[in-house]
Structure 1
Amino acid sequence: MKLVALVAVFACHGLDDSVWIALLTSYAGPWSSATSIGGTVVDGVGVAVRPDGATVYAQGIDSHVYANRITYVLPFSGGWNSLGGTARFGTGAAALLPPMNQPRSARSDEAPSRWAT
């Protein structure tokens, strides 16, 4: 296993309907090549960056919300897990760092406590 430091993560809905990511591992750059982390999505994706990596959120073809945890350890992707629920028009994500630097992520249309990680 190779450890890398993540500075930023870019994720997008690819032309093949999977999710693609690029990583910035140094403030001086450059960005990594885009890499597919799989999945089949129907709309935009969201990314919430945490101190130990990031989580990519996407709306699957069944309209459920899926999450894929990106870590500092190659090969980065932890695979897709269904969070259930029903999404419309894709997903959005934000990373919040409350006291003690414990990140929480929440959907904008639900009570944050329901989606806290």
Structure 2
Amino acid sequence: MKRLLVLALVVFGFGAATFAGNNSSTGSFISKMNNERTFDGIASYLGVNFDQKDALHYIFTEAERRMELSTRKGISAEDAAQKAIYFNLGNAKRVLSNDQYVKLVCIVNLTINNERDYELFAEK
């Protein structure tokens, strides 16, 4: 029950931060994952140990750096963000257990879908 509450708080936190963001939805998601409070919430929900948390932090930071570098090279923000997410998930899979990885994929999918739904709602 506690983990379900933590997941709900993480998803709510991502959703609330979406309203304040002005970047493309996927790109802002990558940046939000590096937010200290958000990252700590994700790590807590996943139940990672210290080494996994350190590796995830490096992966999330590197994904954001690569996304920024790609946009400077002229790649669209949406394409750069999508590549960063694939980089993020591909490397996280090597660090996390199967159960932890499935939880991370769920968080990513829920958050991105929530942000896209909000953007569609805002356009109406």
Q: Same fold (TM over 0.5)?
A: no
Alignment TM-score, normalising by the size of structure 2: 0.26
Which has the larger strand fraction? Answer: 1
Q: Which fold has the larger relative contact order, with Cα–Cα distance below 8 Å and residues 6 or more apart in sequence?
A: 2
Which has the larger helix fraction? Answer: 2
Alignment TM-score, normalising by the size of structure 1: 0.27
